[in-house]
Chain A
Amino acid sequence: MELGPILRAIRRNKARFGLIAVEVALTLAVVVNCIALIADARAQMARPSGFPDDDLLTVSSAPFDAAFKEPGYQQAALRADLDALAALPGVAVVTSTRLIPWSGGGSSGEYRQAGAGDAAPMLRSQIYNADERTLDALGVRLVAGRTFTREEVDRDTRRLQEITIHPRELGSDGRPVDKFLQDVVVTRAWAEHVFGPGPHLGRLFQDSDGDQYRVLGVFDPFYNPYGWPIHEYAVFYARRSSSYENGTRYLVQAEPGQASALARTIEETLTRVNRLRAVEVSRVTEIRYLYFGRQRMVAGLMGLVAVLLVVVTGLGLVGLTSFLVSERTRQIGTRRALGASMVDIVRYFLVENWLLMSIGIAMGVGLAVALNLALVSSIASARLDPITVAAAAAALWLLGLASALVPALRAARTSPAVATRSV
């Protein structure tokens, strides 16, 4: 091996050889961090909601006729819509709910564990109404207990309605005198947030009015983005949605594969039931697509940069190694004249390149980590993954080798005569 001459040559021309190493180092650092940003974006996009997103459709119906101000008319319209939707071929379950997966909003409330005392912090959760079909329509997976029965939904709906019509009497502390107890179905993340590890069935939490909530069922997973970081916390009350005045929303779970066909027929069907409103149908996959717009854009742009970078660096390495080889034409000629074989020449340049690439990659790993730490401070989740770094380093190493092969082969064909001619 001619390691000695190579090292001496490198030491004498630090700038030129150093350039290759720096280029490789920077490329590795940037590509690896691009991949980290892409991986982070993709991980966010791949997060399961806990719902069969592909099969879900959300339908908004917004009436614009004065008739809808009449509660009886509202009830009848709601009933007629639900019946019409349920009768459509391809519909598995249909319900009326304000929960629209991935739309990033909703209502929330504050609770604490029952008996925890007034000093205990209030914990915030998303809150939704559910009838006996809502949790089925959402397709969530129960891990403990059960969902609401029809009787429970009717009973609790009546009770909650009673309170809005005849507000409860307030005590001296500003809280209702008569408390009530309500059964709720909650997400596992919420149950663990409030009570710690399970089992959670039958446990109680309460709101600031002192009303209590008893865990009837627990499901998991659940992820619905919210304005505050409570995406995984949700509490479902048993309550049939009745208000129609400001419009209502239906959630339809289609039979597998039927969602896109249903998306086209639902608007027509509902408009036939009642023309005095506007109907809009969206697939949950479309809502999710919009929700992750930013992540998709980050991933796309970073991918573009990574690809361009590899191309630019590949071309640059070919240019630089060609230059470094052509500069030594005379040296090669001399060595050939003194008896070096073509294989010796090729090997010399490949070993030289291997050495430079290795130095560059070693520096690059350090630089990648440094760059990532600077990035991590602004984007907590875009961490480097060792396997990605190793793979990118190996790919870059091969790229360097390939870029050296062409000029090395050309150099090896240098005739010994060249050396004698130009001296």
Chain B
Amino acid sequence: MLAYQLRIAWKSLRRSPAHTLIVGGGIALGVAVSTLFATVRHSFAKDPIPDKSAVLYNVRMDTWGPVDPYPGGKPPPQVTYQDMVALMRSDIPARQTGTFKASLYVFPDPRVGRPRRELVRLCFSDFFPMFEVPFRFGGPWDRAADRTAERVVVLSDEMNERLFGGEDSVGRSVRIEDREFRVVGVLDRWRPGVKFYDLTQNPVDVPEPIYMPFAHMVAMQLESSGNSDGWRSPPMAGFAGLLASEQTWILLWVELSSADQVGRYRAFLDAYALEQRKAGRFQRKLDNRVTPVRDLMVEADVMPKEADAMVAVSLLFLLICALNLIGLLLGKFLARAAEIGVRRAMGARRLDVFMQHLLECELIGLAGGAIGLALSFGAIAVVNLWAKSIISRGDFLAMDWAMAGFAAGAAMVAGLVAGLYPAWRVCRIAPAVHLKAQ
């Protein structure tokens, strides 16, 4: 029966190609617009590291001064150096890293280019396996290098391209500021959607081009080129003062694989804070946070505030496209009243007529949806190109299976909205009237 109805529906569509094109085009337009907007929202909302987002936790402590809270009333997004050092002595997390970025001079071979400032991420060797950072050549430095401030670096694929023409540069040397570093690893293309491990500044930024052991911060007296907030002046002048200060500029991440570990780690944090309180620190109400990736993204307002409104508007746009098609379909179906009268007289049930017409609408809907999906690919490419001039990244918006499914669902719903009333009308035709008119 379905095959038969499909055949009739197909024939009917072939009979008036212009009409089919207009109806399909209307649905395609609606699907393209709503898929584009849904993809914009989805690109911000989706899990940037699905395999591990449940076990990666950001650590914050309310070290702020006693008089006024940190703006917003929550603990500051980063921790102090002294707290990072103390907390990283814990053996509860399977992996952990403190991290911040600095802006440092990189001196390429003079034949390749002039010295340039580049963003360098200081982190521990756990950073790479924790965040599933992919390597093309070599790998992370080992944990011993973290302790001894070994002069090693990991380069991004793009930096390796710029400095070494893209070849396997493991073992080669790069001058950063006043010292030479040995390349131990080159990353494969790494583009997590949202830069989840550092949401303190632009959340859609690309990852840094260079990574070096955290210990170089002290060795080279490096200051953060990112956010740094504090509430009191350092206890002494110079770099030592910064290290001992209440200035917060380090993101602390831990990997905790079970609820039990999370509980123990929280207890450890609170015990540490209470211990510190005896020394006069942590004067505010105890507020230590261990936040998983996705909750942190919500808290950091990663999603642009307009995104939901734009998705709502685009869905209404699709609805209006579908409503506009009702008139066209109604005209087409009712023009066929005589033919339907004959079919009804020959024994076709109302349900058969109804289903057949609805099927016809769903066929156009799906075809329109496929075209709409293709159109939205184009639209996403255009918006990405546009975004590139603003966020220096032309691949942030990405279509995935979820969005393709969204497009298919939207197309089916649009077909249904457009076809339901015309199909119902046409199945209610009384055969007698139209037979008489012949």
Contacts and interface: CB of A to CB of B under 8 A. Distances in A.
B233 A209 contact: yes
B434 to A, nearest CB: 13
A121 B68 contact: yes
Interface string A316-338: 11011011101100000000000
B120 to A, nearest CB: 14
A26 B319 contact: yes
Interface stretch (A74-82, A147-155, A304-312, A350-358): A304-312
Contacts of B267: none
A62 B117 contact: yes
A319 B332 CA distance: 11
Interface in B304-353: 304-306, 308-310, 312-314, 316-317, 319-321, 323-328, 330-331, 334
Contacts of A37: 306, 309-310, 313
B305 A312 contact: no
A231 to B, nearest CB: 13
Nearest to A20: B327
Contacts of B178: 66
A66 B107 CA distance: 13
B317 A308 contact: yes
Nearest to B228: A107
B377 interface: no
B210 to A, nearest CB: 15
A379 interface: yes
Interface stretch (B78-86, B144-152, B385-393, B405-413): B385-393
A301 B117 contact: no
Contact of A296 (B29, B328, B334, B390): B390
Interface in B38-55: none
Taking residues whose C-beta sits less than 8 angstroms from the other chain, chain B's interface range is 35 or more
A374 interface: yes
A310 to B, nearest CB: 10
A304 B313 CA distance: 12
B278 to A, nearest CB: 17
A124 interface: yes
Contact of B310 (A124, A209, A302): A302
Contacts of A66: 178
A23 interface: yes
Nearest to A291: B390
The A interface, classified by DSSP as helix, strand, loop or mixed, is helix
Interface in A216-251: 227-228, 246-247
Given A208-B232, A297-B386, A378-B305, A326 B317 contact: no
Contacts of B116: 278
Contact of A122 (B68, B115, B330, B331): B68
A273 interface: no
Interface residues of A, number: 60
Interface in A370-387: 371, 374-375, 378-379, 382
A293 interface: yes
A122 B26 CA distance: 58
B313 A302 contact: yes
B17 interface: no
Contact of B327 (A110, A319, A378): A319
Contacts of B119: none
A308 B231 CA distance: 52
A293 B384 CA distance: 12
A167 interface: yes
A378 B325 CA distance: 32
Contacts of A324: 327
Contacts of B68: 110, 121-122
B323 A22 contact: yes
A378 B237 contact: no
A64 B227 CA distance: 23
Interface string B195-221: 000000000000000000000000000
A290 interface: yes
A64 B309 contact: no
A290 B29 contact: no
Interface of B: 26, 29, 33, 36-37, 65, 67-68, 71-72, 105, 107, 114-117, 178, 223, 227, 231-233, 236-237, 304-306, 308-310, 312-314, 316-317, 319-321, 323-328, 330-331, 334, 383, 386-387, 389-391, 421
Interface of A: 15-16, 19, 22-23, 26-27, 29-30, 33-34, 37, 62, 64, 66, 110, 118, 121-122, 124, 164, 167, 208-209, 227-228, 246-247, 278, 290, 293-294, 296-298, 300-302, 304-305, 308-309, 312-313, 315-317, 319-320, 322-324, 326-327, 371, 374-375, 378-379, 382
Given A379-B309, A382-B309, 7 more contacts: A33-B309, A34-B313, A124-B71, A278-B117, A308-B33, A323-B330, A375-B312
30 contacts: A23-B320, A26-B320, A27-B320, A30-B313, A30-B317, A30-B320, A33-B309, A62-B105, A121-B67, A122-B68, A167-B236, A208-B232, A228-B71, A278-B114, A278-B116, A293-B387, A293-B389, A293-B390, A298-B304, A304-B33, A308-B29, A309-B317, A312-B29, A312-B320, A316-B26, A316-B323, A320-B324, A323-B330, A323-B331, A371-B312
